[in-house]
Structure 1
Amino acid sequence: MTRAHLPGILAMAAIVLASNILVQFLFGQWLTWGAFTYPLAFLVTDLMNRIYGPGPARQVVFAGFIVGVFCSLIGTQIMLQGDGFTYPAVTLRIAIGSGLAFLTAQLIDVAIFDRLRQGTWWRAPLASTLVGSTLDTALFFTIAFSSGLTWIEPANDVSWANEVLPFLNVGPVAPLWMSLAVADWMVKLSLALVALIPFRMIVSKARPEQKSA
């Protein structure tokens, strides 16, 4: 790790920290504000991969993972009040789901990007982000809220997330957490397309000696 990698590390840390804070605030019925900041982590990873290579990109991912674990530990100590109950801001299932989803999805993103780096400039960042985002969403929401995984944390009541409702208010009935997951996934996919613009701009301005093939 060199001083040149520090901006990427700081950017990833800031994104993870901001997302952990903003996830506490709702945006509409299906989303939180964190849904709009978290996908930027894939942009940082892809920029590091393109400019410096997969090794530094993985280092940035691990830095973000450490920040995420730290945020989760703090969240488990913050107690909230609601409906006459006291509960932690971050449950064990959410902490496990968040950490596992982030680390797995980001490392898959790095691997796919590196495999496709010789192709058209947009193919590697778009494909790696789409696959990584999909995997991230599936892992997190399934681990954190699926009724089939209550054995992870039996004391954590996730019945609210498994309430059967019309899917996104318009489709067939499904557990609430599935609507939340798909809404989150749609935001990730939309931002993956938008992120191609800053990706292209930043890479084009990088010093030639920094660029990776």
Structure 2
Amino acid sequence: MEFKSRLYLILAGIFIASLISANLIFQKFFTWSPFGLYTFELSVGILPYPITFLVTDLISELYGKKKADQVVVSGLVASVFVMGVVMLANVAPQTDWSPVDNETFSKVFGLFGPAVFASMIAYLAAQFIDIRVFHFWKRLTKGKHLWLRNNGSTIVSQLVDTSAVLILLCGSGTIEWIRFWPLLANGFLFKVLVALFDTPLFYLGVWALKDKIHEDPDEADWEKLSFKQEAI
């Protein structure tokens, strides 16, 4: 298998693993006070989720929009499959000696269905918006300014994702509406900060891999500029 295909599979694997782990661990919430300036109250599911946007931006840059869309669809299929497995496990009767009883398992995974349903709707909207905004900025800047398309696409899509999932969860009664604005502010601000911090990783990934990957044939000729030209 050539390097291009191996790398694509690795990136897709990281994307799907980050997405599914975020959906599995979301019910625990934590606080974080960076330098004592502000206290975030966030679901631990938010920790791996921003990685998915970094990966789709890398795939968009290295392979093109079509390959990025394929990874997003693959993530949806994997999430639906895992949701089915978890729901089946939740209704399976326990043995007398089971270390985890039905009540404990249901408490951890019982809300997995409605929460992931909300998350998947938000996920599809946000990821497809992220990919399209990324390529919009790439066309507009003629392949220059990596930082603009990386952060511009992620910030817009993260606002859509955070808003959509909270609206669906509050509307279904999973979370009280009184928590909507604090969670929206906390979640969106955290994701924006992560997007800014992962920009050097995006530059590093493109710099290290751009010359080793042949662009998708459906991309325009100007997209075949080297990283050095794009970063001007």
Normalising by the smaller structure, the TM-score range is: 0.7 to 0.9
- Structure 1 unaligned regions, length at least 5: 151-156, 163-174
- Structure 2 unaligned regions, length at least 5: 32-39, 92-101, 216-222, 224-232
Give the residue type in structure 2 aligned to 1:15.
S
CA contact (8 A) 2:158 2:191 kept: yes
Give the residue type in structure 1 aligned to 2:127.
Q
2:79 maps to 68
1:52 paired with 2:63, answer: yes
Deviations 1:49-95 (A, max 9, x none): 0011111111111111122222333444537749xx99823243x23
Larger radius of gyration: 2
2:28 maps to 25
CA contact (8 A) 1:141 1:181 kept: yes
Give the residue type in structure 2 aligned to 1:41.
T
Alpha-carbon offset, residue 209 of structure 1: 4.8
1:141 maps to 166
In structure 2, do the counterparts of structure 1 residues 203 and 86 end up closer, same or farther at CA, with 3 Å as the change threshold?
closer
In structure 2, do the counterparts of structure 1 residues 56 and 86 end up closer, same or farther at CA, with 3 Å as the change threshold?
closer
Q: TM-score, normalized by length of structure 1?
A: 0.78
Distance in 2, Cα, partners of 1:16 & 1:86 = 18
1:119 maps to 144
Give the secondary-structure state (helix, strand or coil) at the position aligned to 1:113.
helix
In structure 2, do the counterparts of structure 1 residues 140 and 36 end up closer, same or farther at CA, with 3 Å as the change threshold?
same
In structure 2, do the counterparts of structure 1 residues 134 and 113 end up closer, same or farther at CA, with 3 Å as the change threshold?
same
Alpha-carbon offset, residue 14 of structure 1: 1.0
Query: Aligned-pair RMSD on alpha carbons?
Result: 2.5
Distance in 2, Cα, partners of 1:4 & 1:86 = 34
Give the residue type in structure 1 aligned to 2:147.
W
Larger mean CA deviation between 21-30 and 6-15 belongs to 21-30
Larger mean CA deviation between 96-105 and 28-37 belongs to 28-37
Give the secondary-structure state (helix, strand or coil) at the position aligned to 1:66.
helix
Distance in 2, Cα, partners of 1:130 & 1:86 = 30
Distance in 2, Cα, partners of 1:12 & 1:86 = 23
1:130 paired with 2:155, answer: yes
2:126 maps to 105
Alpha-carbon offset, residue 192 of structure 1: 0.6
Distance in 2, Cα, partners of 1:40 & 1:31 = 16
Give the residue type in structure 2 aligned to 1:109.
D
In structure 2, do the counterparts of structure 1 residues 25 and 139 end up closer, same or farther at CA, with 3 Å as the change threshold?
same
Give the secondary-structure state (helix, strand or coil) at the position aligned to 2:112.
coil
Give the residue type in structure 2 aligned to 1:45.
T
Alpha-carbon offset, residue 124 of structure 1: 0.7
1:89 paired with 2:114, answer: no
Give the residue type in structure 1 aligned to 2:76.
F
Distance in 2, Cα, partners of 1:75 & 1:137 = 24
1:15 maps to 18
Distance in 2, Cα, partners of 1:101 & 1:176 = 18
Q: TM-score, normalized by length of structure 2?
A: 0.72
Q: Percent identity of the aligned residues? A: 24
Deviations 1:179-202 (A, max 9, x none): 122211111111010110110001
CA contact (8 A) 1:101 1:139 kept: yes
CA contact (8 A) 2:23 2:112 kept: no
Deviations 1:114-170 (A, max 9, x none): 111223111111100001100001111101213xxx4xxxxxx44x513xxxxxxxx
Alpha-carbon offset, residue 178 of structure 1: 2.5
**How many residues matched?**
188
1:177 maps to 180
Distance in 2, Cα, partners of 1:144 & 1:207 = 40
